A = this chain, B = another copy of it.
Amino acid sequence: MSRFAERTGPIRLGMVGGGQGALIGAVHRIAGRLDGAFDLVAGALSSSPERARASAAEIGLPADRTYADFTEMAKREARLKDGIEAVAIVTPNHMHLPVAREFLKRGIHVICDKPLTGTLADAKKLRAAAEKSDALFILTHNYTGYPMVREARARVARGDLGDIRLVQVEYAQDWLAEAPAPDNKQADWRTDPARSGAGGATGDIGTHALNLARFVTGLVPTELAADLQSFVPGRRLDDNAHVLLRFEGGARGMLWCSQVAAGAENGLALRVYGTKAGLDWRQEDPNRLVVTPLGGPAQIVTRASGATDPASQRLTRIPPGHPEGFLEAFANIYGEAAHAIRAARSGDPVPDGVVFPTLADGLEGVTFVDACVRSSARNAAWVSL
Nearest-CB residue, chain B, relative to A379: B382
**CB of A285 within 8 A of chain B?**
yes
**CB of A234 within 8 A of chain B?**
no
On whether A168 and B256 interact (CB within 8 A), knowing A263-B294, A321-B266, the answer reads yes
Which residues 188-236 of A have a CB within 8 angstroms of B?
A: 225, 227, 229, 231
Cβ–Cβ < 8 Å partners of A323 in chain B: 283-286, 323, 325-326
Segment from A102-110, A121-129, A171-179, A354-362 that makes contact with B:
A171-179
Cβ–Cβ < 8 Å partners of A306 in chain B: 295-296
Per-position 1/0 for A14-37, Cβ under 8 A of B: 000000000100110110011110
**CB of A275 within 8 A of chain B?**
yes
On whether A262 and B274 interact (CB within 8 A), knowing A165-B231, A283-B323, A327-B317, the answer reads yes
On whether A240 and B165 interact (CB within 8 A), knowing A254-B256, A325-B324, A328-B327, the answer reads yes
Distance of A175 Cα from B266 Cα, bound (Å) = 32
In the assembled complex, the CB of A194 is this many whole angstroms from the nearest CB of chain B, namely 24
On whether A327 and B326 interact (CB within 8 A), knowing A262-B275, A292-B264, the answer reads no
17 additional contacts, CB 8 Å, given A174-B273, A263-B296?
A27-B317, A30-B34, A165-B229, A242-B252, A262-B292, A262-B293, A264-B278, A265-B320, A266-B320, A295-B307, A296-B307, A297-B301, A317-B327, A318-B326, A323-B326, A325-B325, A380-B380
